[in-house]
Amino acid sequence: MRIGLAFKAFFRIFSDQGFAQAVEALLAGDGPAEPPPEKPAVDPAAVQILGLLQREGRLVDFLQEDLEGASDAQLGAVVRTTVYEGCRRAFKEYLDLVPVLDSSEGETVTVESGFDASAIRLIGRVEGDPPFQGVLRHPGWRLKTARLPVPPEGSDDSVISPAEVEIQ
């Protein structure tokens, strides 16, 4: 078994530089290389943004709530006074958004060859090759800058909103 492994390692050293370096380190007595640190299960920046939207506009509470029995009037009042105003305040304070395309909805725009498909989504009857002419239905949004607060040292990066316990 070890002879077969030796032959495999011998030939792989010629074709895989990373493998060759790992074998060299083992032979030098450095031991196996440390595995790269695991990526966190959640992105701390995403949690921070959700936390801001929850704190300012109770967005997570609203989206997690069962609204089956609520009237349109109740929903409208909550959305306008709490969710909309609070989330808008958080956006203005911490995030700068700019349109992807600087044109008004309904205007005719040209999408040139080599466009970024992550920034422009073509809808409708898309046939042939660019350039395409179409009507702008939504300008899209791009994050220009973010000024997220620094979380306290040692805090749990996965907590969007802490549980609240009233002591009586």
Examine residue 22 and state whether it is found in any structural domain, yes or no.
yes
**Would you mind telling me the total number of residues written for the chain in this entry?**
168
Quick: pLDDT tens for 56-68: 999 999 999 998 9
Is there a single domain that holds both residue 48 and residue 82?
A: yes
Q: Does residue 131 have a cis peptide bond before it, meaning omega lies within 30 degrees of 0?
A: yes
Is there a single domain that holds both residue 48 and residue 21?
A: no
Examine residue 164 and state whether it is found in any structural domain, yes or no.
no
Quick: pLDDT tens for 28-52: 877 666 777 777 678 888 899 999 9
Is there a single domain that holds both residue 99 and residue 60?
A: yes
Q: Which domain holds residue 100?
A: 44-146
Examine residue 30 and state whether it is found in any structural domain, yes or no.
yes
Rounded to whole angstroms, the Cα distance separating 147 from 94 reads 5
Average pLDDT of every residue of the chain: 89
Q: Which 3 state secondary structure label does DSSP give 78?
A: helix
Is there a single domain that holds both residue 76 and residue 112?
A: yes
State yes or no: pLDDT of 54 exceeds 90. yes
Residue 132 to residues 74, 127, 129, 139, Cα–Cα distance (Å):
44, 9, 7, 16
Could you tell me the pTM of the whole model?
A: 0.64
Is there a single domain that holds both residue 88 and residue 124?
A: yes
The pLDDT-based confidence of 11 (bands split at 50, 70, 90) is: confident
Examine residue 119 and state whether it is found in any structural domain, yes or no.
yes
Q: For residue 23, which amino acid is it?
A: V
State yes or no: pLDDT of 26 exceeds 90. no
